[in-house]
Amino acid sequence: MDISVVIPLLNEDESLNELYDWIVQVVQSNHYSYEILFIDDGSTDNSWETIQELSQKDTNVKGIKFQTNYGKSQALNAGFNIAQGDVVITMDADLQDSPDEIPELYNLIKNEGFDLISGWKKKRYDSKIKKNFPSKLFNFAARKTSGLKLHDFNCGLKAYKKEVIKNIDVYGEMHRYIPVLAKNAGFTKIDEKVVAHQARKYGVTKFGMDRFINGFLDLITIWFLSKFGKRPMHLFGFLGSIMFIIGFFSALYIGVTKLLKLYYYHTPTKLVTDNPWFYIALTTMIIGTLFFLSGFLGELILRTKRDKSLYKISNKTNL
């Protein structure tokens, strides 16, 4: 199969028939073998009924329905799991992504050898305050932390080599950072293409402040996994060392001060527990120890996973 088009959606029944007709016209005019996967993320309108009607009319249309709203990342992951096309193209269901981009996206993956092409909506028709500003902020932070020079990480219109979507796990709000996930999985031929952006024709945007906050939390997760995911001890060991050194020198200061006062003044001094540095030393040394333990546990978990992977590879080799 040439192309799988994966479309996550939530309450978009007004646009589905028009989107389907548009996609079919493009892929059939280019003689692609294809499938269209609609992932209904817990819609409360007639989206699922529309998908069922389309699948009865066209056997190339398939659908997955979630009983409740799990989020775009889970919807994409479900679509990726069943996609069969050599090239997988994702787009939103609100008609803001143009199916006319499909042939060029397909060519860049299939003939130019790219692993992933991310759309860049250079000219947008969204609200500047509600979506454009947060999007620019996300993209700037993602570029700095990932090293990928993409302008629009969160564009719904993307094309992937099949191997990419079968080797990444999209969860939480990670759909914003799929190019970073792909890079971490070893796929380095990643680029972008300027794509057309349409004004929303039906319905309302699903973007809210909760996604803004969750997106930044997921960005921190991505940064950590990119930098320390394979060697957690490098982070936790460093932090543990800093905290332990602070605690050690605080304790040393308390002890030396007490001894000097006894030696020079020969008078009883206050209890050690009356000195605020005692609590600083105790707290930082405990925190430092906990950081070390976290690093060791992380390393042990990773080593166990690596050993299991090597065992599987060895079994396959023997077979």
Which residues touch 196 (CB under 8 Å, ≥6 apart)? 98, 100, 101
- Dist. CA 141–CA 119, nearest whole Å: 18
Q: What is the mean pLDDT of residues 248-269?
A: 76
Q: What does the longest C-alpha to C-alpha distance in the chain come to?
A: 98
Kindly report the backbone phi and psi dihedral angles of residue 216, in degrees, each rounded to the nearest multiple of 5, phi listed first. Answer: -70, -35
218 contacts 211 by C-beta, under 8 angstroms = no
Confidence of residue 236 (pLDDT cuts 50, 70, 90): confident
Location of structure tokens 């143009």? 98
CA end-to-end distance (rounded Å), the chain: 29
Chain segment 67-113, per-residue pLDDT in tens = 999 889 999 999 999 999 999 999 999 888 999 999 999 999 999 99
Residue 147: CB atoms within 10 A of its CB come to 10
Q: Is the per-residue pLDDT at 206 higher than 60? A: no
What is d(CA 110, CA 87) in angstroms, rounded to the nearest whole number?
A: 7
Instruction: State yes or no: pLDDT of 306 exceeds 90.
Output: no
- pLDDT above 70 covers a percentage of the chain that reads 82
**DSSP output for 188-237:** --EEEEE--BPPP-SS-----HHHHHHHHHHHHHHHHHHHHSS-HHHHHH
Alpha-carbon span 102 to 6, nearest angstrom: 12
Question: Is residue 175 very low, low, confident or very high in pLDDT (cuts 50, 70, 90)?
Answer: confident
Identity of the residue numbered 195: V
Range with the largest mean pLDDT of 226-240, 241-255, 267-281, 292-306? 241-255
Question: Tokens 């050993």 belong to which residue?
Answer: 307
Segment 120-167, tens digit of pLDDT: 888 766 555 555 666 777 778 778 777 888 888 888 899 999 999 999
pLDDT in the model for residue 172: 74
**Vertex 182 angle, CA 167 and 19, to 5°:** 85
The three-class DSSP label of residue 63 is strand
User: Two tokens at 85?
Assistant: 């096309």
Q: Which of 249, 210, 233 is nearest to 293 (CA)?
A: 233
Measured at the CA of 87, the angle between CA 137 and CA 4, to 5 degrees, comes to: 95
Reported as a pLDDT band with limits 50, 70 and 90, residue 185 is confident
Beta strands 34-40 and 3-9, pairing class = parallel
